[in-house]
Chains A and B, each alone.
Chain A
Amino acid sequence: ETGVTQTPRHLVMGMTNKKSLKCEQHLGHNAMYWYKQSAKKPLELMFVYSLEERVENNSVPSRFSPECPNSSHLFLHLHTLQPEDSALYLCASSQEPGGGENTGELFFGEGSRLTVL
């Protein structure tokens, strides 16, 4: 139990569907992240929210739309996805600024496994 909960754990969707991934953190952190994990590729940072404001968007296609309504919740809204978007989507949180013993440490959820048909 890492304190970061992701739902659903598995999702299968067609290319014309609209779905959302949800992440909730119970750690009192003030920054939240979406990462994409594809086979044989390094983890890709997609979005970062710090104090509920989006601070980074790494050239992610507009078919992925994040939302952070408060410091504990993060969503990833999905629409008109492509088969190559099939991957494990990981949510993470951290307490910032870090410094000292907390420097750079992220706490990850178990991920949402997405399959696009």
Chain B
Amino acid sequence: GDSVTQMEGPVTLSEEAFLTINCTYTATGYPSLFWYVQYPGEGLQLLLKATKADDKGSNKGFEATYRKETTSFHLEKGSVQVSDSAVYFCALSDQMNSGYSTLTFGKGTMLLVSP
């Protein structure tokens, strides 16, 4: 079945450091890929997405490129802020079902940014 593997956390960085959170996946067919973010005490929010190979999703300074050849969707940001501290989830969407979306999530990576 489909699966998503992302790096274990927590990732601890100083403000303005470069961020990479690795994500790889296994899936049949051609899934859509997502990064969701969960701030403390809140639900998940969509951060960015890519629906086909070589697409780059971007939002709030974060970027991720859909790499079919390496089955990866790594999240990057050039300069993190304290407010970016949160848990980040990589996910893929199974297109096999009609009528609803089946998202497979990774376990999440906690990011802690210190001033």
Contacts and interface: CB of A to CB of B under 8 A. Distances in A.
A103 interface: yes
B45 A94 contact: no
B100 A94 contact: yes
Interface residues of A, number: 32
A108 B100 contact: no
A55 B99 CA distance: 9
A69 interface: no
A27 interface: no
B101 interface: yes
Contacts, number: 78
B69 interface: no
A109 B100 contact: no
Interface stretch (B59-67, B74-82, B102-110): B102-110
Interface stretch (A35-43, A59-67, A72-80): A35-43
A110 B101 contact: no
29 contacts: A4-B43, A31-B100, A31-B101, A33-B100, A42-B106, A43-B44, A43-B89, A48-B102, A50-B99, A55-B99, A56-B100, A56-B102, A90-B43, A92-B44, A96-B98, A96-B99, A96-B100, A101-B51, A103-B93, A104-B93, A104-B95, A105-B46, A105-B101, A106-B44, A106-B101, A108-B36, A109-B43, A110-B43, A111-B43
Given A100-B51, A105-B49, 20 more contacts: A4-B43, A31-B101, A41-B107, A42-B105, A42-B106, A43-B89, A50-B99, A51-B99, A55-B99, A56-B102, A101-B51, A103-B32, A103-B51, A103-B93, A103-B101, A104-B34, A105-B34, A110-B41, A111-B42, A111-B43
